[in-house]
Structure 1
């Protein structure tokens, strides 16, 4: 049974424009959080304010549960990256043109937040259904563009007890190019501390152990690092980001210390612990004279794969097909989203789905207007179908 609750198009569009006008470049999310909280209050629900750091609050709210014990959460992030320098219009003033709205965060992810609010509002106002529904929550978190501290703080709240989540990130799913993630890579940021032994650099053979030389040996052998295969991704990737060693003031001394930062995308089946052991095994093979400490440096994320037979996925696919007219295209995503935290760490089944648009993190970021109502309708119907289930 489909309910087809009405989504208020004018509310959705005006809310999106208001969100774009609020500067929420990380780490300055508070004004946007205040706007979200005020909107939720206007629905007759008092939001919860969870300050992760000074001026960086998560906002949560939920409906009162009815007879079902189901619990679903709509989630999204409040922060954006800084505006690129080549915007031709004001990035904080929404520009509606040719079926699109342009502005910083238009697709990543203020349009998703607007759809979440419109869907949440529609369900809150459908009072005739409340007695049969489970609990519906909404969570707007900080710092997705940074370290995902907001998402990790969410996991420490009772909202993390939900059984399903719709995360409003910018994946639309109507083609192989604009797919929905069924699996997402993880990430480890290695910190290697290479400790050699100082000696006079004119006579390095007399007791010196060059930490930079041994660090270079590790970097030059990263192609030998064990990377496992996955059916959706093939192998992950590895890349050196930073090398820091040697003198601060010029001196003729064999470098005794070098620090190396290396990023690695991991595939499902490769945990942070496994990746640490892989690096240690590579270093052991090289028989270096330096001592090397291998650590994981924040941010790190676990990869995940969503079970295609999960009830949430089954319900979503049918509702999506009915609303969009095609079967959603699920595949693997090479990258990181907050769902790595919600599902990879918190084990909350999470579908990542949001409006259609482009140029996120770039000048001219936009969302396609005709994708907004279908997204909000899919959020609404998926929540109702899930929350009415026993």
Structure 2
């Protein structure tokens, strides 16, 4: 399939080399940034050095002690809009069962293996390579690369970034380098984790009427959650499907001969675009209050973490521009949705930024798994896509 590129575009893409992207990905993997279990500081230090070497201006700010956000900026000539790239520096813990050291990346049959190769140190390296190539080409406006801490857990980095930025009127859009098999994702549900603590009154199991079973009360809370899940199922998003509840953990009681004085539920709530988890939690509290639980039973609903949903219109100029670049490189341009959540949700909700997730590797078959790997060809193609999209939007 003939690629529809101008001579100038082809010259830009010819500056990109797989070897450099592999080398930076390998260096990033070598700095463990497991979350939970460590900090991202050493990974960000390697990334910052690579950005400076590529000609970018680097600023580091701490989202929390030892957990830096990185913002690397490339300014073009004259006035113009801003294009964002977004990624994160943390990885999930490696765990056991690897065929080799998860932090010593190795090449096997054209694939780079190591924790974070897919999610998402390979994507970070592709962004840096693309911006390094763009630094040698004329463009108007600004390109900003944001690498956040704590994406895999509480989103501390993204929350800090949107607070510091405060406004984004000049931003054309944001490309998120999470793994999508190099397919454009224009919308995704968000996620929130809630802790529901139920307290009752202990008593001897021979006289349960002297106590108040927290487990029994929790069972009625579970019924309320299930009923709300049925309500949500009747009002699905046209592309993302319905918001959902999932009760993933239940812990309670101390023995079969004791009326349970406590029970705790761990709950996942998948969010649709523009849903507010505070309002969702308040609605659940109202439904629980309507259950008429015994006066000795108390229920506390706490939001532990949240990543908002995002959605960029199919006909938005940014979506169309990304599709055009995919077509130019002979790739599938059709926008998709996914079930994962990412930091794009914070940019959508708090700054109103259109976002497209587009990155190397497969989130379903590789991310968070033993012997996580990414194809080297995909890393190079991702860098070419990022460079081409930026060139066309800011020329």
Q: Structure 2-normalised TM-score?
A: 0.86
RMSD: 2.6
Asked if 1:150 corresponds to 2:137, the answer is: no
Shift of 1:196: 4.1
Tell me the alpha carbon deviations over residues 289-338 of structure 1, each in whole angstroms, 9 at most, x when there is no partner.
Answer: 24554534121122222111211111110111111x14323222112112
- 2:79 aligns with 68
Counterpart among 258, 266, 273 of residue 268 in structure 1: 273
5+ residue gaps in structure 1? Answer: 174-178
Residue aligning to 1:287: 292
CA distance in 2, matches of 1:58, 1:301: 17
After TM superposition, the structure 1 stretch with the greater mean CA deviation from structure 2, 196-205 or 161-170, is 196-205
Partner of 2:145: 138
Q: Which residue of 2 aligns with 1:172?
A: 181
Asked if 1 retains the 8 angstrom alpha-carbon contact of 2:311 and 2:355, the reply is no
Partner of 1:41: 52
Work out whether residues 188 and 296 of structure 1, in 8 Å CA contact, stay in contact via their aligned partners in 2: no
Q: Is the counterpart of residue 186 in structure 1 residue 186 in structure 2?
A: no
The number of equivalent residue pairs is: 375
Aligned to 1:17: 26
The answer as to whether partners of 1:7 and 1:118 remain within 8 angstroms in 2 is no
2: CA distance, partners of 1:251 / 1:8: 65
CA distance in 1, matches of 2:165, 2:275: 29
SS at match of 2:359: coil
Which ranges in structure 2 are unaligned for 5 or more consecutive residues? none
1:347 matched to which residue of 2? 352
1:1-390 residue pairs with structure 2 within 5 A?
2=6, 3-4=8-9, 5=12, 6-9=14-17, 10-26=19-35, 27-126=38-137, 129-130=138-139, 133-158=140-165, 161=168, 162-173=171-182, 179-196=183-200, 202-205=206-209, 208-225=211-228, 226-227=231-232, 228-246=235-253, 254-268=259-273, 270-290=275-295, 292-293=298-299, 295-323=301-329, 325-357=330-362, 358-388=365-395
Aligned-partner Cα distance in 2 for 1:92–1:258: 39
Distance 1:115 1:278 in 2: 43
In structure 2, the CA distance between the partners of 1:198 and 1:356, relative to structure 1 (3 Å rule), is closer
The one-character-per-residue Cα deviations of 1:353-376 (angstroms, maximum 9, x if unpaired) are 111354221122111111222211
For residues 230 and 82 of structure 1, do their structure 2 counterparts lie closer, same or farther at Cα, with a shift above 3 Å needed? same
TM-score in terms of structure 1 length: 0.87
C-alpha distance in 1, partners of 2:98/2:261? 47
Q: CA deviation at 1:107?
A: 1.0
Of the structure 1 ranges 238-247 and 193-202, higher mean CA displacement relative to structure 2 is found in: 193-202
Partner Cα distance (1:12, 1:254) in 2: 60
**Alpha carbons of 1:386 and 1:120: their partners in 2 closer, same or farther (altered >3 Å)?**
same
Contact 1:240/1:260 (8 A) holds in 2? yes
